[in-house]
Every structure is written in C-alpha cells, then in structure tokens.
Chains A and B, each alone.
Chain A
Amino acid sequence: MNLLNVENGRWVVIHSFRGGRGIQRRLAQLGFLPGNQARIIRSAPFHGPLLLEVEGREIVLGRGVAAHIIVEYV
C-alpha cells in the first residue's frame, strides 16, 4: 500500500518508491529511505497535504508525492 492508505498516527516502514529519480533523491535527503519508519501526524482537510514524522523531523508531503511511497505497517 502507499502512504495515502495509512491511518493517521500509525507507524509504517518505508518499503520502496515509485516515480522519477528526482523525487526519490529529494525524499532520500529528507529521511525517506527504505527501512526507515514514518507516521502521519496530521493531514490537511479537503485532501490537503500530509504532515509526517520521519527520522525525528516533520515533513510535509503533497498527496501526489505521498502516493509514490510504498509502505507497510510496523
């Protein structure tokens, strides 16, 4: 499943990525690497972006980006 299917607050492990290399690099810089854990802290209403916690940092991802991240529940 991708990040959009995850319940808010539950921890997930990042499995892999879809999409171009540019985004992958960008995400890697922010701590989205396979094996790392993440959780959705909150999401903005009206299908807005997600606020995630990953590697001790808070990162905002648009839904388009979040859909590219394949995760599993811990």
Chain B
Amino acid sequence: MRFALIGQPNCGKSTLFNQVAGYKAETGNFSGTTVQYKETKVRVLGDIIELVDLPGTYSLLGTNPAERVVLDYLVDRQVDAIINVIDATHLVQGLLLTLELMELGRPMVLAVNMMDDAVRQGISVDGEKLQKLLGIPVLPMIASRGQGVRDTFRQAWQVAEKKSKPIPQPYSDEVEKAVQDIRDHLKKKEFPVSRRAIAIKLLEGDPDITARVRQFDKAIGDRVVSYLDALCHSSTRQAVWMIAGERQKSARALSKKVSSHGEAQLSLRDHLDDFLLHPVLGYVFLVLIMGLFFWLVYGIGSRLEEPLLSFFDGLTAQIVSRFSSGGLLPQLIAGTIQGIAGGIAIVLPYLVPFLVGLGLLEDVGYLTRIAFLTDVLMHKMGLHGKAIVPFILGYGCSVPAIMSTRIMEDKRDRFLSAALVTMVPCAARLSVIFGLVAFYLGPWAALGIYFFNIFIIAIVAKVLTRFMPEDSPGLILEMPVYRMPTLRTVTAKAWFRIREFVVEAWPLLIAGSILLAMLNYFMVTPYLDLLFQPITWLLGLPSQVGTPLIFGIFRKELSMVMLAQALGTTDFGSVLSAQQMLVFTVFVVFYIPCISTIVTIRNELGTKHMWFIIGLSLLVAAIAALMTRGVLIVF
C-alpha cells in the first residue's frame, strides 16, 4: 500500500513524516523546504506501508515546479490513501486544498494539525462535525509532540483497505453541469485519479493535462472550450477564478460551521514582529542575531579546533618518529591520521554548531523574516527576496540550496540564484575560512572574507542581470507564525545533515588524504600542481597548493585537509604568509563547485547551465583572488 502525505506549506507535514520515518526528511518553518518527494516505509497495523512526503502545496494548480511535483505524482501514480494535513489555525485555507483533494476520488483522511496553536489563539475546531460534513475521517493532531499520529495512520489504513472514496462537495449548478458533462465524455482509465478531477483540471486550463488529454481525444478539447465560453463568455482565466471562488465559499461555510473563535491568549510572540520587522530595529536585530550566530559558531569551533589539532599533530609526530627508516608506511599512517583529524578537528567543530543554529533559525520562523527584510537588497542584485532562501541554505550546503531554487516560478530566477549560490561559502568552505583565516588571522579577517564574498556576489549578479533582465513579478511568500522549536526536531535535522558529512564526505576525505600521501611519496604531486600552475603563479601561492585545489573539487573540505598534507604540516602559519592565506581562501571560496553540487546543477538546470556555472566560478575566483592580492600588496 502507498500513502501520500499532502498539505500546505508550514502545516507540519514534514514534522509528521519525521515522526514516523525517524527523521529522514528535512523540516523547516519555511515554505519550500521539501522540494522533492521523499519516501519511507512504515508499519501500520502489521502492514508495511510506503509513505510519500510530497512538497507543500497551496492547491493542485501546479504553478511552480514544487507544486507540479505534487500534481504529477497524484495524477500518474497509484496512491491507496491520501493523508491530508491542515493547520487548525488556518482552517479555511487548509480546507481549500482538502476540497480539491477530495475531487481525486482516492481514499482520504484529514489530520487537523497544530491543535495546540489553535487553543492558544482561542480557536476551537469540532472534528466530529467536520467529519460528518466532509464524509471522511477527521483526526486532531499535534505532530510536533507525536499526538494523534498513530490514529491518523490507522484510519488511513482502514479507508485504504475499504477503498472508501470521498464524495466531493458539489459546485454551483452551471459549473457542476460542465464538470459532469466533460467527465462523462472522458475515456476511462487514462489516469489513476477520478475523471471528475481531470474534468476540473481541464476547465481550469491546466496546460499539461490539457495537452495530454488532447493527444488521444481531440474532441474533448473543443468541448471544454465551448463550456468555458458558456460559463464565462470569454477566457479560461475566469473559469479558474470561478472554481477557486466556489471552493472558497464551501471552505468558508465549512469552517464557520465547525470552528469558533474565543479569546486569544496573546503572548510575547504575537508582538515579536513589532520589533523584529521594525523598519529600524528590525535591521539592528538582524545584524545582532546573525552576528551572534557566527560568533557562537566561531567561539565553539575555535575552542575545539586548537586542542584537537595539537593532539593529532602530536600523535602523528609520535607515530612517525617510531619509524626511524622512513618509507611508505609512516607516510600512509600520517595521511590516515590527517584525514581523520581533518574531519574531527577542522570540520565538525564548526559544522555542528552551525547546523544546529541554522535549524533553530529555520524552525522558529526567522528565515522568512530575513527574506522580508532583505528583499530590497536582493532586488538590487536583480533577484527578489525569495532568493534569500537558497542563499541562506547555501551557507549550510550548496546542494539543498540549489534544490530549493525550485520554489521560484521563473526559470531565469532559478538559474541566476543557482549560479550565485554556488559562490556562497558552504559549511565545508566555512572550515577553510575558520580553520585557516580565523584561526591564524583572527575572527575579523574571517568576517571580512564573508563581506568580501557578498560584495563579489553582488557584482557578479549585477553583471549577469545586465544580460538577463528581470521579468519576474517579485516576491510572494507566506509569513509563518513564530513557533517554539522542539529540541527533537532541531537536533534531528542537524544530525540529518551532519550524517551526510560523516557518511559521504568523511570517508572520501580520509581516502583522499591517504592517496595524497602516496602521491607525495612517489613524488607525483608536482605534476598535478603543474595543472594549477598558471593560477598559483598568478596569485603568488606556493605551487604545492595546486593538488589541494584539485582535491577540493571532490569535496571542499579536502582543499583544507589536503593543504596540511601538501605542505607537510598543520601549522599553516609557519609556511604561508597572511597574504597567501587570504588569497588562497578567497580562491577556494569561489572556484569550481564540488562534484555533488555540479551533479545537482545538472539535474536541476541542465548540462549547458552546469558548464556555464563551472566556467563562471573559475573566472570569478581568479579575479576575486587577484583583487585580494592586489589590495594586500598596495596596503
């Protein structure tokens, strides 16, 4: 059996998924966190169920790629039961999607989530009454605490077993007549959803479904057009309105019947926006919050990095000294230790607090506030505030950042933000910035790198938008209410991302370190260094850094760890000047995205754009590093 989880953004759907899947989906108080669907297997009443978490969608209209995923999934794949999650505090909007889902003719249950928030806002929802009115099981739920989850899945299993199809709410007579007539003329079994749903999609003018139906049935297209003419005497635009309007009327009537508003218990968080979105104070808080965030990451990371590094250095020295004869073996051991040390001492001390902090900001709902505050700034770069989402995620990892560009409707916006986001220093590059620059030259130098990075990105954006003028309508975004993040979701999310490093990157890092030790021993690295010779010469860097730069294309952390291997010490202060450290770091921040990012770009935007972004990043890296060198020589 297969169940599909569907709900609007911020309804707590991914939180529910995590409750049952053991934290495999990333959640966030942030629309568009789930852009691809995720699947997991759960056990319900002794049966193994395939559970699909579909991206948050406001309706089944499929206006952006994330919503298209939902519509296409439902239209093409067999789903035995739909679990529709709605937010009790936004009942009318939630029911809009529910009514639309009921058209599909698939067994369905409705989980009314965030009952605790509703109580706080003085809203009470009569689930039993709603169940009677809709004719599908309705269950109260508080997903963040796991309440009502088990019941929801049991009910879903039961409706799936009975194959009980919901009866859709009727539209007004004229719309209903059109829908039914088109439905009757549709051939059976073209789609696994009800013909009624297809008929409605045709009336709404869904381009994909219209094209598909036309392929095997030309006459139906004409029938739809004649109904549209009769219904609104002009264009399809109004049919969409008409249907949406009627659905809204039903949703509102339903909500009125089942919910009542009492006295809301307003608390501090209802007034929080008066400060955090204040025209002046808002920006003060923004700087303070982000400053505190980076200060904490640096504080925790550096305090751990120093003793850990000296421990591993001591260990290496001790072991190598045992082998008086030298040879390959001590080199290999030293390489292995350096690889392990790279993960424990250089990457994790910064990565862990960073990811926990980012998860916290996301779950509280502050990231969307940042989008509101920075929209103006993003406009100057030819993008809109929504592009801040991939940018912020980009400070964690470029891969989810590039995936999240899907929340943008416009192709140009997606490409632009993907191209720019690869230049945002991700957590892996953070280890270079902090491990090298902050550690040897102080936190201010590291902060300087971040500002310089933003400055360069802004310039690149300006240049690119010159060739690609803006034509997107601008920012459209839902502002989530502040929510108290639970320790469980924040740590689970951080762990989800840390595990990616531990499982995927770290072994590569250690293997790369060993490989490099071998290359060193057999003295092959000078040939590798030759590849980057033009760049290292231009930037005034020791030619040995060529090899770490090549390894950095595999994983960004490697350019740091390999640097230790290539220079033969982890005490970089003794072999690199301050200027060289800065130039090297600037180059590493911008040049060629890592392999996983490159693959993601190709999947999301195509091969042509992938090559363009690779070329662009190399060019920008060289120019930015050269600028740094020039400035440092002058001053």
A binding-site residues for B, Cβ under 8 Å: 19-31, 33-36, 41-42, 44-49, 51, 55-65, 68
Interface presence of B245 (CB below 8 A): yes
Q: Report the interface size class on chain B.
A: 35 or more
Tell whether, in the assembled complex, residue B63 and residue A29 are in contact, meaning their CB atoms are under 8 Å apart: yes
Tell me whether B476 and A59 are in contact (CB under 8 A).
yes
15 contacts across the A-B interface (CB closer than 8 A): A28-B61, A28-B240, A28-B244, A44-B279, A44-B375, A45-B376, A58-B478, A59-B478, A60-B372, A60-B475, A60-B478, A61-B474, A62-B473, A63-B474, A68-B473
A-binding residues in B (CB < 8 A): 58-59, 61, 63-64, 89-90, 92-93, 205, 236-237, 240-241, 244-245, 248, 273, 277, 279-280, 282, 368, 371-373, 375-376, 379, 384-385, 409, 473-479, 481
CA distance A56 to B118 in the complex (A): 13
Which residue on B lies nearest to A68, using beta carbons?
A: B473
> Given that A44-B372, A51-B277 are contacting pairs, would A64 and B92 also be in contact in the complex, using a CB cutoff of 8 Å?
no
In the bound complex, what is the Cα–Cα distance between A27 and B244 (angstroms)?
11
What residues of B have a CB within 8 angstroms of the CB of A41 in the complex?
Answer: 273
Alpha-carbon distance between A51 and B237 when the two chains are bound, in angstroms:
26
Q: How far is the CA of A28 from the CA of B475 in the complex (A)?
A: 15
Out of A22, A48, A55, name the residue touching B372 (CB < 8 Å). A48
- Other CB < 8 Å A-B pairs besides A20-B473, A48-B375, 18 of them? A21-B205, A21-B236, A24-B240, A24-B241, A26-B63, A26-B409, A33-B245, A44-B373, A45-B279, A45-B280, A45-B376, A49-B376, A49-B474, A51-B372, A59-B479, A60-B368, A60-B476, A62-B375
Interface centre among A27, A49, A55 (most CB of B within 10 A): A49
A64 with B277, Cβ < 8 A, contacts A26-B409, A31-B93 known:
no
Q: State whether B61 touches A55 (Cβ < 8 A).
A: no
Given known contacts A42-B277, A45-B279, A60 and B59 CB-to-CB distance under 8 angstroms: no
Residue of A nearest to B474 (CB): A62
- On chain A, the residues within 8 Å of B376 by CB distance are 44-49
**When the two chains form their complex, are residues B385 and A60 in contact, meaning their CB atoms are under 8 A apart?**
yes
A29 to B476, CA, bound (A): 11
Bound complex: CA A12 to CA B376 (Å): 25
Chain A residue nearest to B67 in the complex (CB): A29
8 residue pairs, one from A and one from B, having the closest CB atoms: A62-B474, A62-B475, A29-B58, A64-B474, A58-B479, A45-B279, A60-B477, A48-B376
A46: B residues at CB distance < 8 A: 376
Q: Which residues of A contact B368 (CB under 8 A)?
A: 60
* Highest count of chain A CB atoms <10 Å: which of B90, B244, B475: B475
The interface centre, meaning the residue of B58, B61, B64, B375 with most chain A CB atoms within 10 A of its CB, is B375
Instruction: Considering the complex, give the chain B residue whose CB is closest to the CB of A43.
Output: B279
Known: A22-B409, A34-B241. A59 touches B93 (CB 8 A): no
Q: How far is the CA of A28 from the CA of B93 in the complex (A)?
A: 11
Q: Are A55 and B92 in contact (CB under 8 A)?
A: yes
Give Cα A70 to B282, complex, Å.
29
Task: Judge whether A33 and B475 touch: CB under 8 Å.
Answer: no
What is the distance, in angstroms, from A55's C-beta to the closest C-beta of chain B?
6
Q: Is the CB of B385 within 8 A of A62?
A: yes
Q: Collect the chain A residues with CB atoms within 8 Å of residue B478's CB.
A: 30, 57-60
Which residues of chain B are within 8 angstroms of A48 by Cβ–Cβ distance? 372-373, 375-376
- Note all chain B residues with C-beta closer than 8 A to A21: 205, 236-237, 240
Q: Of the candidates A35, A42, A56, A58, which one forms a contact with B92 in the assembled complex, judged by CB atoms under 8 Å apart? A: A56
Q: Of residues B93, B205, B476, which shows the largest number of chain A Cβ atoms within 10 Å of its Cβ?
A: B476
A25 to B204, CA, bound (A): 10
Q: In the bound complex, what is the Cα–Cα distance between A2 and B375 (angstroms)? A: 20
Q: Indicate if the CB atoms of A33 and B248 lie closer than 8 Å.
A: yes
What's the Cα separation between A27 and B237 when bound, in Å? 13
By the criterion CB–CB under 8 Å, are A61 and B61 in contact?
Answer: no
Q: How far is the CA of A46 from the CA of B478 in the complex (A)?
A: 21
A65 neighbours in B (Cβ, 8 Å) = 473-476
Q: Are A62 and B93 in contact (CB under 8 A)?
A: no
B473 x A19 contact (CB < 8 A):
yes
Q: A residues within 8 A CB of B59?
A: 28-29
Whole-angstrom distance between the Cβ of A2 and the nearest chain B Cβ: 13
A42 to nearest B CB, angstroms? 6
Name the CB-closest residue of A to B274.
A42
> In whole angstroms, what is the CA distance A22 to B62 when docked?
10
Question: Which residues from chain B contact A27 at a C-beta distance below 8 Å?
Answer: 476
* Residue pair A30, B58 in contact (C-beta under 8 Å): yes
Q: Which A residue sits closest to B206, measured CB to CB?
A: A25
Query: Which residues of A are found within 8 Å of B481, using beta-carbon distances?
Result: 58
Residues of A within 8 Å of B384, CB to CB, are 62
Cβ–Cβ < 8 Å partners of A45 in chain B: 279-280, 376
List residues of chain A with CB within 8 A of the CB of B89: 56
Distance from A41 Cβ to chain B, minimum over Cβ atoms (Å) = 8
Known contacts A25-B61, A48-B373; A59/B474 CB under 8 A: no
The answer to whether A24 touches B385, judged by C-beta atoms less than 8 angstroms apart, is no
* Bound Cα distance A60, B406 (Å): 18
Chain B residues in 8 Å Cβ range of A42: 273, 277
CA distance A42 to B375 in the complex (A): 14
A47 to B240: give the CA distance in the assembly, Å. Answer: 32
Contact A61 B92 (CB under 8 A): no
Task: Assess the B479–A51 pair: CB atoms within 8 A.
Answer: yes
Residues on the B chain within 8 Å of A61, using CB: 474-476
Contacts A25-B63, A26-B476 hold; do A49 and B385 have CB atoms under 8 A apart?
yes
Q: Which residues of the other chain, B, contact A44 by a CB distance below 8 angstroms?
A: 277, 279, 282, 372-373, 375-376
